[in-house]
Structure 1
């Protein structure tokens, strides 16, 4: 009886393993296709800036049907949010690596400020950001989620902010609001901050966050 039970379980186990492999292969294929769609979308945004490329142009360039696109992204706003999310994750990874080069929490905060503002120096990145943020600002879905998507970048401030005795839940968003506000101003204006403004913003942030004696 025991051997029979074991024998009966083995096919199910093999079947489950086969199903898991199949699902893993499908998941990898889907992830590759989604990554390709996002890459194509970013490239088209760079080409069509300051306007957002149409869905028909995106699917044609990606070599997929509209139905396939909407299988992954239920709306154009969802696609744009995915582009923003991907950019935020890459920015967070880059910023984190830069900040880890310094031990002093104030230096880390300064690096964070510089890293955010530096986004306007890269012409392609700045043009993509203008199109993406402009599109999201004009959509309900974008207004609802675009702020929360910046969390991976904003949360990088929590460690150094706490290290100097301030509450991250209060001060990290305050710093982010100030610096991202300056970033947006330069994005919309197509300008790059002067060295004096760059240093002034950094000094202003540090002065506002350091506890007074």
Structure 2
């Protein structure tokens, strides 16, 4: 993918790690090769979980190399899900920073639209569907990664929510993050890219929710 200075695409993380934390390059090319190979196989055969043998063959590595980094295939899928979540968080942060001069509503709008891009961009949507289909119901920690993604996005949304007058900015931010992540999952599973009307409706709905009376101090 392109560099973070590119306004059209998110940045690919260097290695797996916790959602929302700064990236730290490990220099471990073998682990990255396994992650890339696993994702590529998921995208190439939607709905079919790749075997460890297929992953190591695609990465040009051995089974021993695989198990040196991952305890199981589920562990690899979890790492791919985490990496994807961190990519989304980094891209959202980047887009919100670019919208800083427009004020809090522009920043929050940019953040929401950045998440939705994962469903509207054909390549990104294909990757998102592949990862979700492999993670759902198979990897116990996939749900935890979703929670971590919502929390990381909420941390980014809280400040503009406060500036927009939300009485409980973190609650408003978490509701907004949860809503846009749920919409992303819906459009990913239905394999339908949100049109401009659908996307604008969701953005407007979530922005109105931040300003709703029950989000203000009484």
TM-score, structure 1 as length reference: 0.78
Match of 1:208 in 2: 209
Match of 1:171 in 2: 172
Select between 57-66 and 141-150 the one with higher mean Cα deviation.
Answer: 141-150
The answer on 1:148 being equivalent to 2:147 is: yes
The answer on 1:188 being equivalent to 2:189 is: yes
| Equivalent position SS for 2:140 | helix
Contact 1:77 1:142 in 2 (8 A): no
Match of 1:68 in 2: 65
Alpha-carbon distance between aligned partners in 2 of 1:177 and 1:28, rounded to the nearest angstrom:
31
Superposed counterparts of 1:32-181, under 5 Å:
32-103=29-100, 104-139=103-138, 141-150=140-149, 151-166=151-166, 167-181=168-182
The structure with more helix, counted as a fraction of residues: 1
Per-residue CA deviations over 1:113-134 (Å, capped at 9, x if unaligned) read: 1111111122232222112212
Contact 1:105 1:160 in 2 (8 A): yes
Match of 1:22 in 2: none
Q: CA deviation at 1:211?
A: 5.1
Alpha-carbon distance between aligned partners in 2 of 1:149 and 1:125, rounded to the nearest angstrom:
20
Alpha-carbon distance between aligned partners in 2 of 1:189 and 1:59, rounded to the nearest angstrom:
31
Structure label with greater radius of gyration: 1
Q: CA deviation at 1:28?
A: 5.0
Query: Across the two proteins, how many residue pairs are aligned to each other?
Result: 186
User: Which stretches of structure 1, 4 residues or more, deviate above 3 A after TM superposition?
Assistant: 151-154
Contact 1:117 1:183 in 2 (8 A): yes
Alpha-carbon distance between aligned partners in 2 of 1:149 and 1:82, rounded to the nearest angstrom:
13
Alpha-carbon distance between aligned partners in 2 of 1:110 and 1:28, rounded to the nearest angstrom:
34
Structure 1 residue ranges without an equivalent (≥5): 1-26
Structure 2 residue ranges without an equivalent (≥5): 1-24
| Equivalent position SS for 1:115 | helix
Q: CA deviation at 1:59?
A: 1.0
Q: RMSD in angstroms over aligned alpha carbons?
A: 2.2
Contact 2:108 2:160 in 1 (8 A): yes
